[in-house]
Structure 1
Amino acid sequence: MSVLTDVRRPGPWRVVTLVVVAVIAVVVGVWFSGAALPALVLDPGPLVRWGLPVTETLGEVAAATTIGALVLAVCVLPRREERAPGARRPLRGGPAAEGTAYPRTLLVAAWAAGVWTVAAVAQLVLSYANVAGTSVTAPSFGDELWLYVTQIPLGRTLGSVVVVAAVVTALSMVVRTPTGAAWTLVLGIVALWQLAQLGHAAGAAGHDLATSALFVHLVGAAVWIGALAALAALVRVVGTDLAPAVARYSVIAGWCVAAVAVSGLVSGWLRLGSFAGLDTRYGALLVAKVVLLVTLAGLGLWHRRRTVAALAGRTSESVATATAGTGASSVGATGTAAVGTGSDPRANGTRGTLVAGATRLFWRLVLVELAVMGAVSGVAVALASSAPPVPETPPADPTPAYRITGHPLPPELTASRWLTEWRWDLLLAFATVAGLVVYWRWVLRLRRRGDAWPWARTASWTVGLLIFGWTTNSGPATYGHILFSAHMIQHMVLAMVVPVFVALSAPVTLALRALPVRGAHLSGDVSRGPREWLLVLVHSRVGQFFANPIVAAVNFVVSMLLFYYTGLFEWSLRNSVGHLFMVVHFSLAGYLFVNSMVGVDPGPKRLGYPQRLLALFATMAFHAFFGVSLVSGESLLVADWFGLMGRPWGPSAIADQQTGGAITWGIGELPTLALAIGVALAWSRDDDRTARQRDRRTRDEDPELDAYNAMLKSLND
């Protein structure tokens, strides 16, 4: 038995603080808001009124712990490679990774996902009882619940959450690698997206913004709260890996704080409507949540500035003591450090004491934060159970455009309104700002260590991201759901303009130079950080396949045909997930195509210059064919969308579609022509470089000297 088990220290049962405080907070919040008062008509009973917010709280805490534990497995906890008995991995210097907590975090994820599944089932049952105003003991409750799950959108969404949580439970019990944990994490995030559809403003004009804001809020809070809770549950087995794990988590937590703060601000303003809403009980609960979040962020900053460094010092001291106690031969003979298994019991005892001290430092970091996190979770559920000041009902006499899109019809499109009209998508806006901040930080990191990075690449990335943000949040986003021509501007800018700037900025090359190597300071650690995940993606079979120049060109051309002449186009108009798919797919497809032509990022084995020009001219011909088919076409795409908009301004739907075809032709041709010119110039420079090398070799040759040397060689023979 390890000496660490003999040292008295706090146990992971203290994580229950998170659950207890969350339940207390939601009960107090629901009581304060009056959300659990009996209904005048069709009251479901006190069990449903009080049980629903409590089960929602338990489900959110369990879901957060599941997501957090999977994040620890994907990119936080050190992991040692499983090797055959007797095989040793040479140390690269520095303390050795224990890796004992890595398999346990998947077990924590499985248990938490199991609780999440049970809570989701209870939430499904109680939510129907609450909506129908009936008791769960009613004779026909079971049949009605089945119809609720299969026929009603709210019931189908809650049922899908139950199914996803159950699948995550099963996968967490069988996966063993970071890749498997990553796919399981993606499924968990899908369930959070489903939950985001159930927030307030479902019937209001700001539904899309509210949904994206709530999704960002849920993901940020789940990773922030859940990863800390899972790390606390693993504290008995994490050992000397505690310091690097906490340091890595702190970086993630910083981004989560920003995501939660921004999305919470947007969500709160949508539901309040004005500062006058702060005078309501909903406003008071919102203020309480803001105060708790600010307190939590301050505690995290204060603790991490003091505790993380002290924690690293304690852990390093314990490793050094254990290594000294085991003797030099324990490293030199086997190539691995026998940490905690040396023959000197005093060294092991000292190490156990030091690790216990590091654990106490960790609990000083965690305990108060878990309590505040629980209070935040409870208040959040109480807010979701309360009626906001802004009514959620749609207008009494909605316009045709509102009936179709869920948004009021914007004013007539003018040149200035491309910049002044905004329809925010918080997820894409946050991605834009995060992309700018991350790229600039990488450039500054290179400069601090004396490495140069071309300013033109930084400028190219900045311009590309600013265009991306404008395209997905300003005029093209506002009018893209109303006018086919505006939609085609958005599409072609995402597919042809933004990728050119992004590919020329070489973000993958910059990331590989700026990101630290995981395991450089922790021997034997084969876990994956951002750099390692990027390399896995670039060198994977899937990544290599789609980065192939031929595949990239075919994907770029064929996917456009499939998108517009199948149901995908209508899906992107009617569903926010479909719209997000369109943005991500065509931006990524455009980047892969442009990078295979003129980019410098690793990945594809690029074609010769003649073949690149041929691919570009073929792409230009396709854009011309596609644009002409739209210009000359008389059949309206998604006629029950664009044809029933009821616009009192602008051209008819079919005339606007024909204008969109001309835009497709023009925007598609110009960037492609610019790429062709760039390839031709690069080809010319490559020929000049080859000619200069050939001339240099010719000048270095001396025919008379070569003949004399040949004569001497023949005489010697």
Structure 2
Amino acid sequence: MVGATISVGLLQDSLVALGIPDPGRVTTFGLPFFRAVGWMLAALSVGSFMFAAFYISPRVPGNDNDQLVRAQLSVDGHLASRTGAVAALCFGLIGLLMIPLVLSDVSGTPLAQTLNPTSWITAVNQVATAKAWAAVAAIALVVGIGGLVARSWLSQTLLVLGAILMIVPLGMEGHSASGGAHDYGTNSYLWHLVFMMVWVGGLMALIAHGRRLGPDLELGLRRYSTVALFAIVVMGVSGLINAAIRIEWSDWFGTTYGAILLAKTAGVIILGLMGFAHRAVIIPRIGQRPGLFVRFAVVEVIVMAAVSGVAITMGRTPPPPPRDPNLSTMAIQMGYDLYEKPTLANVFTMWRFDVMFGTIALLLTAGYLYGLWRVRRRGDTWPVQNTVFWLLGTGTLLITTSSGMGLNMPAMYSMHMIVHMVLSMVVPLFLVLGAPLRLLMAAYDPGEPGQPTVHDWVNAYTRSPLLKVLTHPAVNTAQFLFFFYILYLIIPLYELMISEHAGHLAMNWVFLASGYLYFWELVGKDPLPVHRPAAIRLAWLTGSMPFHLFAGIYLMQLTTILGEDFYTSLGLPWELNLLEDQRAGGGIGWASGSFPLALVFTLLFLEWRRDDRVIEKRYDARVDAGEDDDYEAYNEMLARMNSGQNRHTDYYGEEFRKSDPGSEPGSCG
């Protein structure tokens, strides 16, 4: 109601700025209203699945946390999961409704005229926001159906990821995704939107649990409080970044858009103070007065909803004029301008911090060091080489995405290939050698029987059936090669991915995830459902190496220029032969891919030899102790053979003498 009311009041300014007619009262009120309802439903879905997965304990067979991988949801977990599924389904239906609403809004056509299927097709093909809502609807409906049928605890973690994924398309459109510095705008908005869902949805799920008087309320509230603290920090920082790149500081107080930002900022501060009150007052008294939490939290959710409603209106409020109204084509396409050709000398002096992957690199570093601190505080040790590998991985990720390599990746095929190879083959290799999952299990104690903790969660994930399938050598090798070949062999797909910031984000995420899974199975130090002998892994790597290298050779010989229209449209300030640059990229893919694979080959070969030496030493030790069954069996076999040979000779010798008189001494025979 807050979002719709403010939007209606500001609609006239929006229509004048966009130069479109009034679409009618139904669209005027319905678009912000249903968008706000959709956001709250998405938050409820994310929070409910997180609640079922992490905030309360499932039903663990025999209360043995080692059996967590086979755990089923408790009654309260089942109710939360069903709530999340229904919320996702409703969110998907709203996504479908938003397609004609968006078309009505941008065209100034009454809603009744945009409800026919032909108009929907037009909206999805021509209107970015409608396309985003169509993607939201598809993902949300899949998540909702999956939530209705999934009953295991392990499935809830996948549903959490799916629920977060269904809001990502909304983060890729709007004011943040257009104009100058839209890479900063989009990335910061994604951080902001995801953690708003986690924050708001988690509290709604806890309120529902508290009203049911369910168990583990104090445990769930403590876990949520930690997540909420992190979420509000991320929301505050990302919100400031997003605002700073779009409006001048003076516009905060002199424009309607700035006034909305101030109202939203004030609301977030109030919510932060309410969260502090939870930690300081409510949680310590939750055991004696559980009803106090529900009453306080309901007020907090109402404030959250109002702040979300204020945020909704930003999408229908014209922002102040851009700082630079004369953006170049390059700045419009990429979000920034390039001024000099990258070389080996200057590629590391260029710098533009990547709000997505640069932040992830910093968070992974901080998280690993925190886990290391917990291990050391308990008096345990941790291999130094693991820490070194992890820091090499996060440092390489930061430098690759934030230096001249990441800066020039969207503009040059050769730089694209460098970043691709580093993100898929170098960074994941370093990270898996850091053994992060073992560190988590070492940093946290196992939970009480039937009450799993981080240690038990990680242990269950490493034994999950899905991971067993994904890390099978055939499946793992196929997925790693598939993403490489599908991107570069299907030319229209490559052109689509490089022409949109969303495509760059998707590619980088796929490179990292696919490479991590691949090298985890080959040389990773973390446990897996099936740990295959080094000889088998070495054989799979050897068999797949030609396929890794063939793609680079193919690209070196390709005469069709991938993404030619996009690269040409950028208007780089230096001369660039696109075909030669593409061939250089193919050579980089061939050469740079061989170095990590050679390193992995060496590591596997050494591990194979080390395993052989261990087996030999064990065998020799058993022999020396007289406990080796094979050795005893071998000696018994020799004894039997020796005894059997003597009897055989005597018998036939006797028979020969009896039957052949010529064999007697002195006979001519």
Same fold (TM over 0.5): yes
Indicate how the Cα distance of structure 1 residues 165 and 497 shifts in structure 2: closer, same or farther if over 3 A, else same. Answer: closer
Q: Distance in 1 between matches of 2:532 and 2:115?
A: 65
> Residue in 1 aligned with 2:281?
306
SS in 1 for 2:215: helix
Mapping of residues 639-650 of structure 1, within 5 Å: 639-642=564-567, 645-650=570-575
> Residue in 2 aligned with 1:49?
28
Indicate how the Cα distance of structure 1 residues 516 and 145 shifts in structure 2: closer, same or farther if over 3 A, else same. Answer: farther
Indicate how the Cα distance of structure 1 residues 359 and 156 shifts in structure 2: closer, same or farther if over 3 A, else same. Answer: same
2:439 aligned to which of 510, 518, 523:
510
Distance apart, 1:377 and its partner CA: 0.8
Check whether the contact 1:272–1:278 (CA below 8 A) recurs between aligned residues: no
Indicate how the Cα distance of structure 1 residues 198 and 562 shifts in structure 2: closer, same or farther if over 3 A, else same. Answer: closer
1:250 aligned to which of 208, 221, 225:
225
1:501 aligned to which of 401, 413, 430:
430
Q: Distance in 2 between matches of 1:661 and 1:540?
A: 37
2:359 aligned to which of 400, 425, 430:
430
Q: Distance in 2 between matches of 1:159 and 1:91?
A: 41
Indicate how the Cα distance of structure 1 residues 478 and 362 shifts in structure 2: closer, same or farther if over 3 A, else same. Answer: same
Check whether the contact 1:89–1:524 (CA below 8 A) recurs between aligned residues: yes
Q: Distance in 1 between matches of 2:54 and 2:258?
A: 38
2:592 aligned to which of 656, 667, 682:
667
Q: Distance in 2 between matches of 1:383 and 1:688?
A: 66
Q: Distance in 1 between matches of 2:620 and 2:59?
A: 54
Q: Distance in 2 between matches of 1:457 and 1:300?
A: 37
> Residue in 1 aligned with 2:201?
226
Alignment deviations for residues 151-205 of structure 1 (CA, whole Å, 9 cap, x no partner)? 4333333344345545555554444333454444444333311222332144313
Q: Does 1:63 find its partner at 2:42?
A: yes
Q: Distance in 2 between matches of 1:241 and 1:28?
A: 40
Indicate how the Cα distance of structure 1 residues 533 and 584 shifts in structure 2: closer, same or farther if over 3 A, else same. Answer: farther
Check whether the contact 1:202–1:392 (CA below 8 A) recurs between aligned residues: no
Q: Does 1:360 find its partner at 2:292?
A: yes
SS in 1 for 2:269: helix
| Aligned AA (1:384) | G
TM-score (structure 1 length as normaliser): 0.75
Q: Does 1:547 find its partner at 2:471?
A: yes
Indicate how the Cα distance of structure 1 residues 459 and 201 shifts in structure 2: closer, same or farther if over 3 A, else same. Answer: same
Q: Distance in 2 between matches of 1:610 and 1:159?
A: 48
| Aligned AA (1:468) | L
Q: Distance in 1 between matches of 2:310 and 2:245?
A: 18
> Residue in 2 aligned with 1:601?
526
Alignment deviations for residues 65-110 of structure 1 (CA, whole Å, 9 cap, x no partner)? 22212221222233336x9xxxx86999xxxx99442232234335
| Aligned AA (1:249) | Y
1:262 aligned to which of 237, 257, 260:
237
Distance apart, 1:489 and its partner CA: 1.0
> Residue in 2 aligned with 1:414?
343
Equivalent residues, number: 622
> Residue in 2 aligned with 1:585?
510
1:477 aligned to which of 389, 398, 406:
406
Alignment deviations for residues 241-282 of structure 1 (CA, whole Å, 9 cap, x no partner)? 211111122222233223312321221112215555553222
> Residue in 2 aligned with 1:572?
497
TM-score (structure 2 length as normaliser): 0.80
Q: Does 1:197 find its partner at 2:176?
A: no
| Aligned AA (1:469) | L
| Aligned AA (1:306) | V
Q: Does 1:237 find its partner at 2:227?
A: no
SS in 1 for 2:411: coil
Alignment deviations for residues 642-685 of structure 1 (CA, whole Å, 9 cap, x no partner)? 45654342541111122223322332233333334444444555
Which of the two has higher C-alpha Rg? Answer: 2
Q: Distance in 2 between matches of 1:701 and 1:66?
A: 64
Distance apart, 1:292 and its partner CA: 2.0
SS in 1 for 2:104: helix
Q: Distance in 1 between matches of 2:541 and 2:320?
A: 55
Indicate how the Cα distance of structure 1 residues 686 and 536 shifts in structure 2: closer, same or farther if over 3 A, else same. Answer: closer
Distance apart, 1:35 and its partner CA: 5.0
Alignment deviations for residues 505-547 of structure 1 (CA, whole Å, 9 cap, x no partner)? 1112212333454xx33x545xx76545544443233322332
> Residue in 2 aligned with 1:538?
462
Q: Does 1:456 find its partner at 2:380?
A: no
Alignment deviations for residues 345-384 of structure 1 (CA, whole Å, 9 cap, x no partner)? xxxxxxxxx5xx22224533x1442233123212211222
Alignment deviations for residues 418-473 of structure 1 (CA, whole Å, 9 cap, x no partner)? 23444555333333232222222221121222221123212221120121122233
| Aligned AA (1:672) | L
Indicate how the Cα distance of structure 1 residues 471 and 47 shifts in structure 2: closer, same or farther if over 3 A, else same. Answer: same
Indicate how the Cα distance of structure 1 residues 76 and 665 shifts in structure 2: closer, same or farther if over 3 A, else same. Answer: same
SS in 2 for 1:234: helix
> Residue in 2 aligned with 1:323?
none
Check whether the contact 1:556–1:589 (CA below 8 A) recurs between aligned residues: yes
Q: Distance in 2 between matches of 1:120 and 1:629?
A: 42
Distance apart, 1:218 and its partner CA: 1.5
> Residue in 2 aligned with 1:370?
301
Q: Which runs of 5+ in 1 are unaligned?
A: 1-22, 315-353, 703-709, 711-717
Check whether the contact 2:199–2:232 (CA below 8 A) recurs between aligned residues: yes
Q: Distance in 1 between matches of 2:538 and 2:335?
A: 45
Q: Distance in 1 between matches of 2:606 and 2:84?
A: 54
Q: Distance in 2 between matches of 1:455 and 1:27?
A: 58
Check whether the contact 1:71–1:227 (CA below 8 A) recurs between aligned residues: yes
Q: Which stretch of the first structure deviates more once superposed, 110-119 or 596-605?
A: 110-119
Alignment deviations for residues 8-51 of structure 1 (CA, whole Å, 9 cap, x no partner)? xxxxxxxxxxxxxxx34763576479757888862234554344
